[in-house]
Amino acid sequence: MPNCIFCDIAAKATGAQIVYEDDSVVAFRDLRPAAPGHALVIPKKHLEGIRDATAADEALLGRILLAAIRVAELLGLSERGYRLVMNQGPDAGQSVFHLHCHVIGGRRLAWPPG
């Protein structure tokens, strides 16, 4: 996908602080963290958002969530807790249109969000 910063990160064409990678996903620290522990898990396959996933992406979506659990462990967030967030569209706060899951923790998080 041309002009997609997350595709560039997945392809190693743009630098990022990678915290986890496997065949399907890459996780890296967020440049504007909302908490001390904040990383993004992205699929290597370009999908603009969660609404663009199809039944063919079922295993990939599961892989994203399992990778998010692993990232939380690597960031030391598992014991106290963390939040997983996927935004869909600009009104939800999505600013990069490549599906991604935020892993956020390391401080007490308020509810409701937003």
CA dihedral 69, 79, 29, 89 (to 10 degrees): 60
Unique residue bearing structure tokens 């295993």: 59
98 labelled catalytic: no
Which one of 38, 98, 100, 102 is the catalytic residue?
100
Q: Which residues are identified as catalytic? A: 100
